[in-house]
Amino acid sequence: MDRIHYAGGELLTGSAIADAIVDYAAALASRRSAASIDIPIRGDDGSAARAHLLIGPASQLLTEPVETDLEELVDEELVSRLRAATTALSAIRPMVEAPEPGYGAGDDTDELEWPPIR
């Protein structure tokens, strides 16, 4: 389990969930975007509950592992959706540059590697 420190409070959730949230928040921040997510948490009494988070560029999240006798919270569908959203936001889009001066038009390009190694 991991404890998420968020907006002056703390939430206890599964480790995979916490990792996916932090990665998603970083991807959102890199795009200056925000999103709301609903996650499973453990209440103060150990019961299962839900929390709704707004994450984005201003989110200051900190996670830390917590040893507990409580059953690990697992939500594979949520983690999968967060990972897919993170990948979509983080997709690398290659930039094509003009060829260097002296690079002959019509040269054989079969030996070129993509993306270019610099």
| Per-residue pLDDT tens digits for 12-56 | 999 999 999 999 999 999 999 999 999 999 998 999 999 999 998
As a whole-number percent, the residues of the chain with pLDDT over 70 amount to 77
Q: Binning pLDDT at 50, 70 and 90, where does residue 93 land?
A: low
Q: Evaluate if pTM is beyond 0.85.
A: no
Provide the mean pLDDT of the chain.
84
Tell me which residue of 8, 6, 7 sits closest to 17, measured CA to CA.
6
pLDDT reading at 96 higher than 90: no
pLDDT reading at 110 higher than 90: no
**Cis, peptide link before residue 40, omega less than 30° from 0:** no
